[in-house]
Amino acid sequence: MPLVTNPRGSIPLRRCLLFVPADQDAKVRKAATLPCDGVILDLEDSVGFAGKGEARAAALRALAEIDFGSRERLIRINGLASPWAADDLAALRDSRVAPDTVVIPKVDGPDQVEAVVRALENRPLQLLAAIESARGLFAAAEIAGCSPQMTGLFFGDGDYLADIGGQRTAQTLLYPRSVLVAAAASAGLIAIDTPYLRLGDVAELEADARAAAELGFVGKAAIHPDQLPIINAVFTPTPERIAWAERVLAAASSQAQGVFVIDGVMADAMTVRIAERVLAAARGAPERGRDGKS
């Protein structure tokens, strides 16, 4: 699993995480071959009520049987307020196989992350908390900082908009997205953006992903194979951006002054920090490049 250096240590490269309903075996097998940094085996909303038990068993079977290569293996459990979460957590605690990361949906406060940590007992799995409500948004910094197992925040726009009663536009998403990125960064973590649900709308997907990238998200969830190349391209530093970052570091190390000029723009210590971030992301990226090949 490629890693990216971060203030908190090393966190998996997560430009694109592909959701798959865990009870759909053909899609799960296909996902394990596709150009994504991680596969999220979903036990939550993409699985019907009658299929919850089978999806849980199928997810664990998939971890045992399928080679996901260098892709991060994530399981999204059911929400803690649902009737299925306790069984999901017990299965993860007792299973012979384990995912790399557990995605906890609908997190409203740090107590829910702490409950998951307790339920998993001695399994120190990485955690990703999905913020999908107004309460969750206002508690996002506390949620991000509440456990050393936390590795990021995930934005779920559908449930968030259902909670606040808004409609999906770039404007309505600006505030929650901005808060989420700042909350994650305040704990040294990363933020992953919500999936784009309109299948086939390539131009809109790209605009949506780019808006998230500009706000500071390091990656975005996907729901369909066709979305992966677009999301990978948006969240992978371009050769021009990498060349700029290298020029910044070279200029900074070749002179005694703190301030200098790059491409006609004043640069100083903050520019060096930005350049280091670009190069850290690029170092993780070559394993599955812009064309998505591993």
Would you name the residues annotated as active-site residues?
Answer: 268
Contact flag: residue 51 with ligand COA (CB under 6 A) = no
Contact flag: residue 196 with ligand COA (CB under 6 A) = no
Contact flag: residue 156 with Mg ion (CB under 5 A) = yes
Stretch that binds ligand COA, among 26-34, 56-64, 139-147, 231-239 (CB under 6 A): 26-34
CA distance 21 to 44: 8
Q: Residue count at the site for ligand COA (CB under 6 A)?
A: 15
Among 3, 10, 25, 30, binds ligand COA (CB under 6 A): 30
H/E/C letters for each residue in 222-274? ECCHHHHHHHHHHHCCCHHHHHHHHHHHHHHHCCCCCCEEECCEEECHHHHHH
CA distance 108 to 126: 19
What's the min distance (Å) between Cβ of 162 and ligand COA?
13
Contact flag: residue 159 with Mg ion (CB under 5 A) = yes
Closer residue to ligand COA (CB): 128 or 242? 128
73: phi then psi, degrees, rounded to nearest 5 = -105, 115
Which ranges constitute the DSSP H helices of the chain?
25-31, 52-65, 85-94, 110-119, 134-138, 140-144, 157-164, 170-186, 202-215, 228-235, 239-253, 269-284
What's the min distance (Å) between Cβ of 27 and ligand COA?
4
Stretch that binds Mg ion, among 49-57, 153-161, 223-231, 269-277 (CB under 5 A): 153-161
Contact flag: residue 270 with ligand COA (CB under 6 A) = no
Among 20, 104, 107, 189, binds ligand COA (CB under 6 A): 20
Closer residue to ligand COA (CB): 76 or 277? 76
Are the C-beta atoms of 32 and 66 separated by less than 8 Å?
yes
Residue 22 Ramachandran class (φ > 0 left, ψ -120 to 50 alpha, else beta) = alpha
Closer residue to Mg ion (CB): 154 or 235? 154
Stretch that binds ligand COA, among 38-46, 132-140, 147-155, 211-219 (CB under 6 A): 38-46
Residues 47, 48, 52: CA angle, nearest 5 degrees: 70
Q: Which long-range contacts (CB under 8 A, 24 or more apart) does 169-174 make?
A: 170/207, 170/208, 170/211, 173/211, 174/215
What's the min distance (Å) between Cβ of 18 and ligand COA?
6
**Which stretches of the chain bind ligand COA, using CB under 6 A?**
18-21, 26-27, 30-31, 42, 45-46, 195, 223-225
**Which stretches of the chain bind Mg ion, using CB under 5 A?**
132, 156, 159
